[in-house]
Each structure stands twice: as C-alpha cells, then as structure tokens.
Amino acid sequence: MAKPKEKDKREKLDLKKIKKILVNIKKELDEEAVSEEKLVAEHEDNTFADANDLATHDTDITNEMNVKKIKDAQYEDVLEALERIETEDFGVCEECGADIGSKRLEVYPTTKLCINCQEELEKVQKAKSLIANATKVE
Ligand SMILES: [Zn+2]
C-alpha cells in the first residue's frame, strides 16, 4: 500500500474547483468580447461631425485596443491554464518546480509561478522600471 514518495510531497489540488474558476473567467471574457464587438460596430455606424469628435473617437479606439490586448493575453492565460490542468502540469512553478499552492491558485488560477518566484520577478521588474525611469531623467 506504500505510495511513491514524490507523489506524497505534491499538494493535492482541487482541480475541479480551479477548473470551474477558469471556465467562469473564460465565460466572462467571452461575454465581454461579444459586447465589445457590438460597441465597435456602433462606432462604425457613427458619422463624425467635426475633427474634435474624430480625435476623441481615435483615443477611444486606442484605449479599447489596449484593453483588448490585455484581455486577449488574459484569455490566452486562461486557455493555457485549462490545458495545463488536462496535462497535469498544473500547479507546479515554472521556475523552480515547487508547488504553487491551492490558496494562491484559487486566487490566481492562471499563474505559472510560486509566490517566491513571483516576488523575485516583481523585484526584477521594479528594478528595471526604476533604471528605465532614471535614464529618462537627465
Ligand atoms: Zn517558484
């Protein structure tokens, strides 16, 4: 009845629960995408009276495109996470191979990093942005 030790070390994740969370996020993103398409279609129906309106319109579109980019990335993350659940790679940190932990996964189901690696990454990103800002100021 002895189980292999490696398996015992792994935290048992409630994959069903996490999958449900992911499917819900996917559904929400799907619904938002539909309403966005409507919005874009409405935009296109509009005729613009003057240049001012046109400028505002351009800004709107740029903002929408940025939001869409972020949402597309989120969507990809959700799909990837769902795939990982199927292949059982789910819940393992991409960097160090440690368990990410069920609590963290239930809050951030699309994360690929454990809290330690995430903090390291954020430190590096923060340092990088500080350097980038510092070089901007002469
Ligand atoms: Zn890690």
Q: Which domain holds residue 108?
A: 93-138
CA distances from 80 to 86, 107, 115 (A): 10, 16, 19
2 lies in some domain: no
Quote the DSSP letter at residue 114: -
pTM, two decimal places = 0.68
| Domain annotation covers residue 121 | yes
Task: Provide the pLDDT for residue 3.
Answer: 47
Answer yes or no: are the C-beta atoms of 29 and 75 closer than 8 Å: yes
Least confident of 5-9, 31-35, 36-40, 104-108: 5-9
pLDDT greater than 80 at residue 72: yes
Q: What is residue 49's three-state secondary structure?
A: coil
> What was the pLDDT predicted at 49?
57
The pLDDT, as a whole number, for residue 57 is 75
Judge if 77 and 124 occupy the same domain.
no
Determine the distance separating the centroid of ligand 1 and the alpha carbon of 110, expressed in angstroms: 14
Ligand 1 centroid from CA 22, angstroms: 21
Q: pLDDT class for 13, splitting at 50, 70, 90?
A: confident
Read off the pLDDT of residues 18-48 as tens digits, 9 standing for 90 and up.
999 999 999 999 998 878 778 777 777 665 5
6 falls within a domain: no
80 plus 123 within the same structural domain = no
Higher-scoring residue by pLDDT: 126, 55: 126
Distance 117 CA to ligand 1 centre (A): 4
Task: Calculate how far, in angstroms, residue 74's C-alpha sits from the geometric centre of ligand 1.
Answer: 21
- Residue from 77, 62, 93, 70 nearest 25 by CA: 77
- Verify that 60 and 44 share a domain, yes or no: yes
Structure tokens of 15? Answer: 């994959």
Regarding whether 134 and 79 lie in a shared domain, the answer is no
DSSP 14: -
Would you say residue 61 has pLDDT above 80?
no
Domain count of the fold of the chain = 2
Q: How far away, in angstroms, is 123 Cα from ligand 1 center?
A: 14
